[in-house]
Structure 1
Amino acid sequence: MVATNLALAEQHRCHQLKEACFKFLIDSPSNIESMVESDGYEHLKTSCPSVLNELAARLLPHETKAAKQITMALSVPP
């Protein structure tokens, strides 16, 4: 259900619902596992991949985010 709600929240620009879904997922790794196994996950992946990128960014520790940004900046040709 959370994957479907995330897709709907993104498509209808419902920031509060999106934040509630993120909180639900971040609060428990088992919630993320259940979402990935759900039918709605495939739809979320194809219709709103940016939501999954945002979720991944929120799950990464701050230091890992900084390292990733530096690595990406170095791999982009000028």
Structure 2
Amino acid sequence: MIGNITAELVPYDAEAREIVARSHARFTQIVADALRRAQAGGEVTQAATPEAQAQLLLFTVQGLPWSPAPGSTPLPHSLPSTP
């Protein structure tokens, strides 16, 4: 429900866009800081920046509600599933 509301408001509401942008930036900062500590301890790969890894996590988690349900027809822009 929150995702639907956000998707509907953001294109048309500057205040909603600002709230979402701040939320994304804060999430990315918090996760990137944790990833930096994990990289320093050798627990996480250093092949990608902490910020890139944090953004990937954010986009993956946020994209899950938009993913097609099992057995449904994927949207045209969906990636093909692997066996």
Larger-gyration structure (1/2): 2
TM over 0.5: no
Q: TM-score range by the shorter chain?
A: 0.3 to 0.5
Q: Which has the higher helix share?
A: 1
Structure with greater contact order relative to length (CA < 8 Å, sep ≥ 6)? 1
Provide the TM-score with structure 2 as the length reference: 0.33
Provide the TM-score with structure 1 as the length reference: 0.34
